Amino acid sequence: MPMDVAFCLKMECLPLLPPSPLKSPSLQHQPIAPAPTRIRSSSLKPLAAQQRRSSLSIRTSKSTTTLTPTTTPAALPPKKKVLVPIGFGTEEMEAVILVGVLRRAGADVLVASVESQLEIEASSGTRLVADTCISTCSNDIFDLIALPGGMPGSARLRDCEILRKITCKQAEEKRLYGAICAAPAVTLQPWGLLKRKQTTCHPAFMDKLPTFWAVKSNNQVSGELTTSRGPGTAFEFALSLVEQLFGESTAKEVEGTLLFHAHEDNPRKEEFNKIEWSVDHIPHSCRDSISLALFVYPPFPFLAMENGILCGTVKHRVMKYS
């Protein structure tokens, strides 16, 4: 506010003093009413303009502020929890393939030892180290329990009372469980977990399965139970469990990363020259193939080269081996 305007307001706002009181005694005791304050209207114009400008700036600043809604991140679904028990004599290939494939799919796999120590010696001498002892798992709930096979590993699993209770509770509550190799016949059968279940196992233990329910398949799914035959079918067994836990798309994705069916796209051998030819003359397209055959293979007792012509007594087909 300019100094002259402020000085004018200060001077104008002072109350006007009344004239000196009269000497009449009746008027001396009457209260003096203050005179109304008079302010020039011209002095309010700058103040009013400033107030309008300030209010306009406040409205403008309020209109430009934008509120961004706060979004809370969606909670991730809990991981599937899997138990893989091991003991002395467990088949190491089956145990490692099970753990590796299930972890690739995103499962939380817990390897538990049924022995008094975490480190065990597998059936072929490989040393495996478990994550924990089976005694710490008695109160846990698992989405899947998968038993590797091997001997005497399957018998060691069978004799573990804590594992028996956990697996029987798993079957009673209709959650997934499985076994491979000798474990279906040696471990699950004595526990009574194969009743009315189509089951397969290693050929050496097929006679221990119920005859009516035994099937000779590499991988068998029967309700909540999945069984398989041995180390050679361990990948198929593990991928089947992945499909039951996470769905077909996840199983296909993991299968692709493992190159599980790569041999079907790239055969081990292919025919180098598909043209059939007899031994009395050489097709022009096969001259290089004949030189390759004579270079790669040992001398054939029934073949001879005479004047650039391969002579023999039988028809021959040249193959290229990858």
Residue 150 corresponds to which tokens in the numbers above?
A: 């091997």
- Alpha-carbon gap, residue 213 to 195, rounded angstroms: 9
Strands in 87-202 per DSSP E = 108-113, 119-121, 127-129, 132-133, 144-147, 176-180
Q: Which of 206, 196, 83, 204 is nearest to 146 (CA)?
A: 83
Q: Which of 287, 295, 248, 67 is nearest to 310 (CA)?
A: 287
Name, in order, each residue with C-beta under 8 angstroms of 281's C-beta and a sequence gap of 6 or more: 309
Q: Are 191 and 163 in contact (CB under 8 A)?
A: no
8 flagged as catalytic = no
Q: Rounded to 5 degrees, what are φ and ψ at 133?
A: -90, 155
Spot the catalytic one: 137, 160, 168, 181. Answer: 181
- Alpha-carbon gap, residue 293 to 282, rounded angstroms: 13
Report the 10 Å Cβ neighbour count for 262. 9
- Side-by-side strand order, sheet with 144-147: 132-133, 108-113, 81-86, 144-147, 176-180, 225-228, 219-222
Residues labelled catalytic: 181
